Every structure is written in structure tokens, then in C-alpha cells.
Amino acid sequence: MPLFTTDALVLRTYQLGEADCIVVFLTRDRGKKRGVANGARRTKSRFGGGLEPLTLARLAYYERERRDLVRLSYVDPVSSPLAARDGESLGYVSYFAELLDECAPEAEPNDTLYRLGAAVVESLRGDVPVEPLARYFEYWVLRLQGVYPSLLACGACGGDLSGGGRLDPGGDGLVCRGCAGQQGVLLSGDAVGFLRGVAGTPPGRLADIGLSELAGRELEQAHRRLLAVHLEKELRSVKVLRAMGRV
């Protein structure tokens, strides 16, 4: 069996028997993988805390031809969101990890999606406020999936969107106020301005853009609808955030 060594983001784990678990992880060079971590649930496991969701790690695994599951050899944590400075940020870890898991195809390399996830992990460890970071992450994941509407012009008439508009996932996308009906989520000029700003800004510099509480709520509602339409379901972690009063 060939041994592969790579950088990866741990997305989630499943219990397997009494001592093992299945690990879903996103690699930089070979896409999303699923592997067995033998003995990972034992008290003195060699994997330690390296299998927590959204841990950025250096790992190695064995892969057999025509086998869906690989076998993990070791996981060396490089950066962990557990080092976040506040509990509110920790509340979003499972949400970010689940969103990556849902949108990353099996065994198809996507370096841009991997780098986005890694940048978010580093931002959670820094001073970046988690609410703007969540809206940033949602925007970029949806954009990489090819489902985020254009921010340049109205989807109906081609007019200017600087003054805001309405986002309708099932209609013309993002339309100006003149073309907007009653469907979709109303977005203010501040919300559209934030989206245009993050299109060319790394997450560590979100404080330079700013996001008002009202614009943040607008984008949160709009992104939830876009994700529900794209994934054809609501994420489990969204329900948890709602129960925690985060959404």
C-alpha cells in the first residue's frame, strides 16, 4: 500500500466499533478523503487531539486501490480552532467544518477551497470577529460552488446595486430595488458593500471593511436561503447555532 503524506483539514469523525473512528478530512492535493483511525477513541490514542473538527494538520495515510476508506497512520496538528480566544468563535467551528464537508466533492482536489478553510482556522485564532468571518466564509464557499449571484449589476435590468437590492435564490439572483418584488431577502447598500469588499480581501483583514449588525443579519438570512437551496437541506450545525442563540 502506498503511503501519502499531506496537509489536511479535519472535518468530522464517526464512531467505528469500540475504539476506532472514521475521519473525514480535506487534503490540499487529493481532495476529500475518509479514513479509519485505529484506536483513536482510546484514552492514550496516538492521534491525541489531532482529530477535532477544523484542525489543520500534517497527516499520513495508506490507500489501497478500489477501497473507499484509507487507513490513517498519524496526524500531527499544526493549528487548532480550539485556541480561539472566545467561546462564541468556538460555537461556529462545527458549522464551518460541516459546510466544507457538504461542499467538497470526494477525492477531487480543490486547492482554493482548502486554502479558504485553512485561512478561516487561522482567523479564528486571531482577533477577527466571528460574525463577519462567518458571512465571509459563506460568501466564498457559495461563490466557489458557482451559485452566488453577480454583485456587479442587477440580475434583471443590469442596473447599479450600490444602493442595495433583493436576493432571491429562486429568481433572478440579486436585483436592484427598482426590479425587486416581494420574494427573497432585502439587502441594504451596506450589505452589498461588504460583499464587494470581501471579494478581494483576506479574512485576516475583515476589520478593515466593517459590517454593521443590521447588514450582518441581512447577509446571514440571505446566505442561509442560498445554502438551503443549493444543498437542498438545512445544515445540522445551523440548528445547533439557533439553539445557542447564535442565529
Question: Is a pLDDT exceeding 90 seen at residue 243?
Answer: no
Burial classification of residue 154, based on how many CB atoms lie within 10 Å of its CB (0-12 exposed, 13-18 middle, 19 or more buried): buried
CATH number, domain with residue 43: 2.40.50.140
Closest residue by Cα to residue 237 from 37, 104, 101, 67: 101
What pLDDT is attached to residue 239? 83
Q: Could you say which of 126, 158, 192 is where a domain stops?
A: 126
What pLDDT is attached to residue 143? 95
Share of the chain above pLDDT 70, in %: 97
**CA distances in angstroms from 118 to 5, 9, 56, 110, 166, listed in the order given:** 17, 7, 7, 13, 31
Contact by Cβ (8 Å): 163, 189: yes
Residues 5, 60 share a domain: yes
Kindly report, residue by residue over 121-143, the tens digit of the pLDDT. Answer: 999 888 788 999 999 999 999 99
Question: Is a pLDDT exceeding 90 seen at residue 118?
Answer: yes
Q: Which residues contact 19 (CB under 8 A, 6 or more apart)?
A: 38, 39, 40, 41, 42
Residues 111, 215 share a domain: no
Counting every residue written for the chain, the total comes to 247
Range of the domain at 214: 142-232
The count of domains in the chain is: 2
First and final C-alpha spacing in the chain: 46
What pLDDT is attached to residue 2? 87
Domain for residue 133, yes or no? no
Helices marked H in 24-73 = none
Distance (Å, whole) CA 151 – CA 19: 49
What does pLDDT average to over the chain? 91
C-alpha cell at 54: 477544523
Mean pLDDT calculated for residue range 86-103: 89
pTM confidence score: 0.92
Q: State the pLDDT confidence band at 247, using cuts at 50, 70 and 90.
A: low
Domain for residue 137, yes or no? no
Contact by Cβ (8 Å): 24, 32: yes
Question: Is a pLDDT exceeding 70 seen at residue 205?
Answer: yes
Kindly report, residue by residue over 17-46, the tens digit of the pLDDT. Answer: 999 999 999 999 999 999 999 999 888 888
Helix (H, G, I), strand (E, B) or coil at 22: strand
Question: Is a pLDDT exceeding 70 seen at residue 85?
Answer: no
Task: Name the residue with higher pLDDT: 74 or 84.
Answer: 74
- Among the residue ranges 42-51, 208-217, 224-233, the one predicted with the least confidence is 42-51
Which residues, in sequence order, are bridge partners of residue 13?
Answer: 23
